[in-house]
Structure 1
Amino acid sequence: MHSKQSKWLWGAAGLVYLFLYLPLIIVVVYSFNDSKLNAEWVGFTFKWYEILFNDAQMLTAARNTLIIGLVTSVCSTVLGTLAGVAMYKYKLRLLPVLVLTPIAIPEILMGVSLLIFFVMLNMTLGLVSVTLSHIAFCIGFVAIVVRSRLQGMDESLVEAARDLGATPVQAFRLVTLPLIMPGIIAGALMAFTLSIDDFVITFFTAGAGASTLPLQIYSMIRIAVTPEVNAISTLLMLLTLALIVIASKVAPGAIKAQS
């Protein structure tokens, strides 16, 4: 009986993973398809990657996306870490609402409200407005991760540092910060991933002169899903996997260093 249940569980798990990863595998495979359409497999080629790396509009969009993602990741990590520490230390009812509301409301509402805000400020829409929007959106995610890390921390270590004469700033820098570093790293990677992946908020706040990869891909698939779209999607997947590997290497190192 137990063996039969295990087989059902393994079968169900296999179907779920197949549903999740089969479309990704198809995207990767068809990025090497020697055909302008994805209707059928014609032959193996690297030409779509050559076309991609010679596409000025796509390269500009990729550069903008990486710049916005990096700036968003740094700024939202610093602000989100401070917000997470504040939510942990000060039990204010209004603070979590202010920090977490941007991630709780629908993205389309967030995009429209930010658009109205920038228009009221008479601010020209472009890369700066997109970056500010992404920072506002990602702070809450970083704060959640950091606060969760703080809740699992042993406060007696901080109290011991204070008893030994450390100031609050020294206790935070030498004890608390190393302990929550894995959470900070995870929050930074999450912010970067959310930024390079965002479409809805970017669509409302980018303006006519700015372009990111999600916007560029959307403009291309309105005509047809060509293998060039599959190629850029494959590279984005590889970037995401690289970030996961880096996180798995860096976070354990931080944990080991704090011990």
Structure 2
Amino acid sequence: MAFSFNATRSRSVWQGFSTQWWSGTPLSLFDNDEYASALKHSLELAAWTTVLATALGTVLALAVTRMRGVSKHPVNFILMIPIVTPELILAVGLYLSLTFITAWPFTLVHLGTAAQVVGQVTYTVGFVVVVIRGRLGVLGEGLEAAARDLGAGPVAALVFVLLRLLMPAVLVGAMISFAFSIDNFVITEYLASDSSTVSIPMYLYANARGGNTTPALNALATILVVMTLAVVALAGLLYRCATRRETGSSDISSTVALGA
């Protein structure tokens, strides 16, 4: 990260401070089409993956929690497969499925951005389900049942009571999805199509040892690190605020109950 501010092309010998590798020259980060394309594509993948994996993981967690009987076990098994499967095997399986299977719905997704999003969502949604199911286990079914007893309908109890209490877990799930997506290399590499679908990790891997590489590559890696840390820090701050309000509400309820 420090060498992204080096005054010369060297990435190993410090020779003064300069911002030329960030902006202002044809080889700088924000003035080079290849760097800008990788950065833009990584953010695009992270945005789609975060939204889709968080939404799908929340719905699946709620559905699995409400399942009864033997059908619950195979669903749990399927959701855990991406978590326990080595990422390389998962990437190869996804690649073969999308390139050799000609049946619907595999024909709807082609190698490129769409396939990369599908692959990253497949990999991350299990983690989101685990986090939200853990939160559901802590909350139990009493609060939703109490809302129903007080006159709320099924949808109102779900939206205004349960989902509000699940927001800290949903936030953590989104954070995990973003971190996995922005940093993912194996799945993204296997499901790429052309130069327009090259992400930051792919570009770093392909060019880190090149003889013509400049400290602008360090600047690109710095963007990756700072972005990830900023999202994690923001999510942690929001999670603390949410749980602090919840703890305060619990204390008030306990005090009222004791007074009664």
The interval holding the TM-score normalised by the smaller chain is 0.7 to 0.9
**SS where residue 133 of structure 2 aligns?**
helix
Deviation at 1:40, TM superposition (A): 1.9
Instruction: For 1:229 and 1:57, locate their aligned partners in 2 and report how far apart those are by CA, in whole Å.
Output: 11
Q: Deviations over 1:38-68 (max 9, x none)?
A: 3322211111112011110111111111111
Deviation at 1:146, TM superposition (A): 0.5
Matched, 1:228 2:216: yes
Q: Which position in structure 1 is the counterpart of 2:36?
A: 59
Q: Percent identity?
A: 33
Which residue among 112, 118, 131 is the counterpart of 2:98?
118
Deviation at 1:237, TM superposition (A): 1.8
Instruction: For 2:214 and 2:79, locate their aligned partners in 1 and report how far apart those are by CA, in whole Å.
Output: 40
Q: Is the Cα contact below 8 Å between 1:150 and 1:180 reproduced in 2? A: yes
Q: Deviations over 1:54-84 (max 9, x none)?
A: 1101111111111111111111111101112
Matched, 1:86 2:63: yes
Deviation at 1:200, TM superposition (A): 0.3
Deviation at 1:222, TM superposition (A): 3.6
**Given the two structures, how large is their TM-score scaled by the length of structure 1?**
0.83
Deviation at 1:196, TM superposition (A): 1.1
The one-letter code of the counterpart of 2:221 is: S
Extract unaligned runs of 5+ from structure 2: 250-260
**Given the two structures, how large is their TM-score scaled by the length of structure 2?**
0.83
Deviation at 1:257, TM superposition (A): 5.9
Moved more, 166-175 or 118-127: 118-127
What does 1:164-175 correspond to in 2, within 5 Å?
164-175=150-161
Instruction: For 2:37 and 2:145, locate their aligned partners in 1 and report how far apart those are by CA, in whole Å.
Output: 51
Question: Higher helix proportion, which one?
Answer: 1
Instruction: For 1:151 and 1:226, locate their aligned partners in 2 and report how far apart those are by CA, in whole Å.
Output: 51
Q: Is the Cα contact below 8 Å between 2:11 and 2:215 reproduced in 1? A: yes
Extract unaligned runs of 5+ from structure 1: 1-27
Deviation at 1:137, TM superposition (A): 1.2
Deviation at 1:171, TM superposition (A): 1.4
What does 1:66-77 correspond to in 2, within 5 Å?
66-77=43-54
Instruction: For 2:142 and 2:172, locate their aligned partners in 1 and report how far apart those are by CA, in whole Å.
Output: 24
Which residue among 133, 136, 140 is the counterpart of 1:147?
133
Q: Is the Cα contact below 8 Å between 1:80 and 1:142 reproduced in 2? A: yes
What does 1:96-115 correspond to in 2, within 5 Å?
96-115=76-95
Deviation at 1:246, TM superposition (A): 1.9
Q: Deviations over 1:97-134 (max 9, x none)?
A: 11111121011111111111111245531111111111
Number of equivalenced pairs: 232
Q: Is the Cα contact below 8 Å between 1:87 and 1:96 reproduced in 2? A: yes
**SS where residue 36 of structure 2 aligns?**
helix
Q: Is the Cα contact below 8 Å between 1:198 and 1:214 reproduced in 2? A: yes
Q: Which position in structure 1 is the counterpart of 2:198?
A: 211
